[in-house]
Amino acid sequence: MKHTFDELVETFAILRGPNGCPWDKKQTHESLIKCLKDESQELIDAIEKKDDENMKEELGDVLLQVLMHSQLAAEEGKFTIQDVMDGLYDKLHRRHPHVFGDHAKAATAEEALAVWREMKKKERQQK
């Protein structure tokens, strides 16, 4: 059965809600650091082993971490998963002017990386 991203986001709200899971409700950003490290390493291991099936599962576990941290932040009134997605969308468009803007096209991966770094440097200078 196919599920939507919104259904997945709602699942985290339920897990942390009044009738949710005691473990999930107890978690904090800090308590999840070890889980994030472990899941990231498990994904790296799957990539290095070229284990696609395990990689798919581990990508889900890393996404779980993103969604859980976003849910915690939403409960704290700091930001939502939509804010995370909007920020990523904006960053990708800003840092790829050779694709989405009027910057000269990057002919190679090296040129594209140079543009990314140039845009990142400009962003830091503006902060």
Token pair 């790829």 is found at 96
- Could you give the domains of the chain? 5-78 (1.10.287.1080)
Instruction: Yes or no: say if 62 and 69 are a contact pair by the CB < 8 Å rule.
Output: no
Quote the CA–CA distance of 52 and 55 in Å, as a whole number: 5
Residue 28 CB: number of other CB atoms within 10 A? 10
Tell me: the pLDDT tens digits for 39-92? 999 999 999 999 999 999 999 999 999 999 999 999 999 999 999 999 999 999
Tell me: the pLDDT tens digits for 7-36? 999 999 999 999 999 999 999 999 999 999
Q: What are phi and psi of 3, to 5 degrees?
A: -125, 155
Instruction: Yes or no: say if 62 and 56 are a contact pair by the CB < 8 Å rule.
Output: no
Tell me: the pLDDT tens digits for 92-102? 999 999 899 88
Neighbouring residues of 114: CB distance < 8 A, sequence distance ≥ 6: 106
Neighbouring residues of 57: CB distance < 8 A, sequence distance ≥ 6: 46
Q: In one letter, which amino acid is 89?
A: Y
Token pair 């902060």 is found at 127
Quote the CA–CA distance of 64 and 77 in Å, as a whole number: 20
